[in-house]
Amino acid sequence: MVAVLVIPDGAAESVLPTSLESAHTPVLDELAAGGEVARVAVTPAHLPAGSETGIPALLGHVADEPISRGRVDAAAYGVPVPAGFTPWRADVLRLNGGRATPQESAIAARALGPHAIWTRGHRLVLLAPAGAAPAARVLGGLDGLRIRVWPDGDVLPRTLGLATAVIAGPGAAAGCARLLGADVLVPETASGDVGTDLAAKARAARAAIIRGAVRIVVHVGGPDEAAHRRDAHAKRSALEALDAELLAPLRDAVRNAGGTLAVCPDHLTDPATGAHGGGPVPALRWGTGIAAAGPDRLTERATSASPVHAPDWPLAGAPAPVESNA
Ligand SMILES: [Zn+2]
């Protein structure tokens, strides 16, 4: 029986009314009414909120220490790491904290030299000899730009095999899934941002169902990217597109295959601040063998008193909550 999990990146929020509440999502509402709705602790208390924490947790690996985002991004964008070097994730930012454009970021990478690789948007991977952390700095000669370097961390272990298919745009989800050993598919027309080709992801998921994949994870980055740009309207639109162009065909494919469909964000991202948050997120499971239970909408307000499950709940269906909010 196939289990499909859709991860709308950063879809959850802590300030009411939330994007999940205000977006028009008839398919999500149908799945919530007919399935089991609860909450999932995607961000353990000892880890930072982010995709490098939440996506491995949803795929069954809760890390002891923060995960190296540099390793994840190197795997995501195919950056070769020479022996004796460590990859570090860095952002090209304006002095006011906003993201630099892709053009500015590519120029910044060239200015930093051959060990700075521009990957996408404002993102760089910096290769540094082991033990020598690259420093945050203001870029001389590039007016108003600075480099922020993410902390190093643990490397994700290879815990998955090809029975888990992960369909994602170019970005952290693909990087995490590659390091974990899953079968990773990045459709050519997937952007990792709003306006991505959701139909291509739905087609890839249907093909994986037909191939006999046991677990299929579809990651959608748009909600998080819109929230980082502090664009609440774009975040709602990204959720509405996900509903119509991805969840509708997946609901039909999963019903035909007699499997289960789950929806669970990997963390919170507040469109007012553009910042990640680490509380529990609303999640649902729907399909064969799952009776309707819990609230009938997938929103933070509806699930505010729902049990909080371990992160493997939506895929594995572990019955026991780790904590009750009763
Ligand atoms: Zn984010």
User: What is the value of pTM for the model shown?
Assistant: 0.93
- Give the distance (Å) from ligand 1 centre to CA of residue 301: 22
What would the two tokens of residue 295 be? 């609230």
Q: Three-state SS for 298?
A: coil
- Give the distance (Å) from ligand 1 centre to CA of residue 268: 9
Q: How confident is the model at residue 322 (pLDDT cuts 50, 70, 90)?
A: very low
* Residue-level pLDDT at 98: 87
The percent of residues in the chain predicted with pLDDT above 90, rounded, is 84
* Residue-level pLDDT at 95: 85
- Give the distance (Å) from ligand 1 centre to CA of residue 140: 28
* Residue-level pLDDT at 272: 97
Q: How confident is the model at residue 158 (pLDDT cuts 50, 70, 90)?
A: very high
CATH code at 3-67+155-316? 3.40.720.10
Instruction: Find, among 29, 1, 23, 8, the residue nearest to 232 by Cα.
Output: 23
Which segment of 90-99, 278-287, 316-325 scores lowest on mean pLDDT? 316-325
- Give the distance (Å) from ligand 1 centre to CA of residue 225: 6
Q: How confident is the model at residue 323 (pLDDT cuts 50, 70, 90)?
A: very low
* Residue-level pLDDT at 141: 64
Query: What's the average model confidence in pLDDT over 142-162?
Result: 90
- Give the distance (Å) from ligand 1 centre to CA of residue 270: 10
Q: How confident is the model at residue 324 (pLDDT cuts 50, 70, 90)?
A: very low
Domain locations along the chain: 3-67+155-316, 80-149
Helix 172-180, helix 51-58: angle, nearest 10? 50
Instruction: Find, among 119, 159, 172, 131, the residue nearest to 9 by Cα.
Output: 172
* Residue-level pLDDT at 47: 95
- Give the distance (Å) from ligand 1 centre to CA of residue 250: 25
- Give the distance (Å) from ligand 1 centre to CA of residue 10: 6
- Give the distance (Å) from ligand 1 centre to CA of residue 120: 14
Q: Is the pLDDT confidence value at 30 over 80?
A: yes
Q: How confident is the model at residue 134 (pLDDT cuts 50, 70, 90)?
A: confident
Rounded CA-CA distance 109/119 in Å is 9
Q: What is the mean pLDDT of the chain?
A: 93
Q: Is the pLDDT confidence value at 70 over 70?
A: yes
Q: Is the pLDDT confidence value at 325 over 90?
A: no
- Give the distance (Å) from ligand 1 centre to CA of residue 40: 18
- Give the distance (Å) from ligand 1 centre to CA of residue 155: 19
Rounded CA-CA distance 102/323 in Å is 43
- Give the distance (Å) from ligand 1 centre to CA of residue 269: 7
